[in-house]
Amino acid sequence: MTIVGIDPGVSGAICVLRDGKITMICDMPIMIDGTKSKRQINAAELANILINQKLNFEDKVILESVSAMPGQGVTGMFSFGQSFGVIKGVCAALKLSLHLVRPVKWKKHFNLLNSEKDASRTKVIEMYPYIASEVSKKKDSNKADAILIAKYFYENLPKIGL
């Protein structure tokens, strides 16, 4: 079974696990929207990435279920919600099995609650040393999150019963 973990947002990432092994990791594809250089998810490229993975009806896409955060502005939350909707729409159009996981669930599973954002990179490097170069920079924490989202689902699949 193939599991795709997605950390949503324009600075998010996508990870593909096949039988528990990372076979692909990339940043969320983005493009510039309008003249203000505002970034948005490139839905067509996201679809291409998922199509190229040759997913079937048994495979699962795991999307981090996000909500409004205190202190984030209205414009930022609208943009984030739009990105979340684009990802859900692409998955629906491709007829992919989509499952949502709350951040508290996967972070608790990996003992990352109340830890620094960068702690997920350390955890991934410990678990998957062969991809250390893919998550070597601080900005790669979103890739690490996508990996852990997929890994959480992979490790809990027997309990979930899908």
pLDDT-derived band at 72 (thresholds 50, 70, 90) equals low
Say how far apart CA 143 and CA 27 lie, in whole Å.
7
User: What does the pLDDT average to over 21-35?
Assistant: 91
Asked whether the CA dihedral 115, 120, 124, 125 is positive or negative, the reply is negative
pLDDT digits (tens, 9 = 90+) for 131-149: 999 999 999 999 999 999 9
Q: Where residue 7 falls among pLDDT bands split at 50, 70, 90? A: very high
